[in-house]
Structure 1
Amino acid sequence: MLSDLPIRKIIHVDMDAFYASVEQMDNPDLKGKPIAVGGSSKRGVVSAASYEARTFGVRSAMSGVKARRLCEDLIFVKPRFDRYQEISKKIRKIFYDYTDKVEPLSLDEAYLDVTKNKKGNPSATLIAKEIRERIFKEVGLTASAGISINKFIAKVASDYNKPNGQKTVNPEDVLPFLEALDIRKFYGVGKVTAEKMYQLGIFTGKDLKNKSVEYLDNHFGKSGRYYYHVVRGIHTSEVSPNRIRKSLAAERTFRENLSSEIFMLEKLEHIAKEVSKRLTKSKVAGKTVTLKIKYSDFTLQTRSKTLPYFISDKSIILETAKDLLYQEKLQNSVRLLGISLSNLNTEKKAKQIKPKKEVSVQLRFAF
């Protein structure tokens, strides 16, 4: 029962078209124009699109060639991740003025638990409004926010009044809100899953709620139980300010497909160097090296090897990646290579973080 669960005041803040908005802020000539952060070449991919570009159907993860077809006047801008990180730090500094329970998901979004907050403000709605106003005043960008009793609903709500808006889903409104929601709006339901649900006659939260846990388990495996609970407003994951990194990776897409392992060795060296650099910067090491191979037909393959000791040195990462490359014959020409390191020495720290005890409260909760 929802009333038996601990009710928190969770805010999900999501910056509006973050990368593109930063570029428009830094270059006034780009304001009001359709821009895409990313590459326009044959291999280029859109990292972010301004709202002006989105009206033409341009979206992140879309190929630059397709984006150009959709919008002839599209302006491509090279990404500046150092700048995005700089802005992200300023935004997070604002978050920490309200609570230490901040869980960043990426440079442009984060969860905040303001059940108890530094301002002593009982209204999560007013806190979210104040945070958004400060971001605009102090940073120059707009943000949207979702406010509710748990992370799942707050995440869904933050997309409701984008851009530059917010939505609060009060405790008593949670179930009606979820029942009326289009199944495509459920966080965790991707395009393929949505199509499968449509085929099963599941179009809204209400349709999903009418299915038994056994039915959902049979059709969606482990995810079935997740869908069964979230549509009932049950999502007990806490805002975790101590999220432990579980892997670290780097990858590269090539202008031309590579057809021989010999041509890939130089590329792997650059990727291994980048992974080592990131490991050193994060002060971590790992045991499991994974080689990611994406073929010209977009088939994806991974090959992994676990070492008996932690590594962060470029030479060892590279040698292990080479072994994995030669482990078996390539299936096709290759368009992308990546190296990741997992089984990090941060996992010991994760085990030491003990979950806090929760106290159940009534649904009458001021939002």
Structure 2
Amino acid sequence: MARRHMHDPFSEEGALELLAQTTERLIRGGLLPDVAATTALKIYMEQLDSSGPRVARTIIDNKANHKRHRRDNQRFETRLRRHWGDGLDILYAVASVYYECGAELTDRKSRETGGPLVEALAGLNARCCRVAFEVHHLLSGGFAMGGLARCRTLHEIAVTAIVLGEYSSKEGFEDLPRRYIEHHYVLNYSDALIYQRDAAKLGEEKFSDSEMAELKRLRDEVISKYGPEYATSYGWAAGIGGKKSPRFSDLEKIAGVSHLRTYYKLASHHIHSDAKDAILNVMRRGDKVGYLYGRTNIGLAEPAGMALGSVAQCFSTHVCALAPIDPRDLVAMKAVQELVTAGYKAFAAGDESVNAAEERYQAEQNRQAP
């Protein structure tokens, strides 16, 4: 006798069918209808609970599928480099030069003079290089929007470096680097309060009363030292440009890069779960429209340009703020500026290459259409 067709037990139709059959068998076994229905649902839910680990193990053990995905990703990245390879190599070179020259500059200045400005710029140099390498990695994998999101951080690092570099030598702001460094005491206590509130729900151990008291003491100490405005998010920059409680947009103006706010806002959409990012994640290819779920070979020029510019700003500030300037550092800075210009051109060429390839593809699709 032929087997009766059975729906997928995990689909809505399959679940209802399975529940009905189980209920029927239980009733034939002597259970009342209401009790049979409740028991059938309990049995089904137990099956769902036990199926999850089995399905997870099957996915983990499916090595062939994992290998296929890795192979597909490698092939995609190879195709991506046909359009963007020159630009990506320049972006990596820029980050590498700043990594090597910035570290050497920091080491030399630490031996010669040291001080809070050297320390502050050293930390920003390290973060700038790390994030630039992250952007390069994301773009090389086809994650342009992820790269743009990290470029927001690069922009913030560059703005902070410029403000520190320009104002640390101005009268009344000689202590600015120290104010910047010690501001972590304010942020530490603020973070600790949130952690204390949520630790139990997270299954974490709370700070002890003495630990919280010490964090508060350190925070109160620096606020007493620098003034009440120091307690705000950018309190370390209080007073610059006449702003008692500056916002980041104020720091952009002070640094002379407020014209880049448009790119900063665009990058911000890819960090937050706002409605604008939902729209930006809709892709059109020919007559097809859909959401972007993974990699893409379009849109690399914007984050790459933002990254190149931010690294160049950080490098120039790092060199020029730590007088006297060594001729070797000037040469490296000029070389980076040349690389950045070449990078802009290479990514513009990559954009044109991708667009031309897509036009050829769509033309071929139209020729083959019935």
Question: Is this a same-fold pair by TM over 0.5?
Answer: no
- The answer to which structure has the higher strand fraction is 1
- The answer to which structure has the higher helix fraction is 2
Greater RCO (Cα-Cα under 8 Å, separation 6 or more): 2
TM-score band, normalised by the shorter chain?
under 0.3
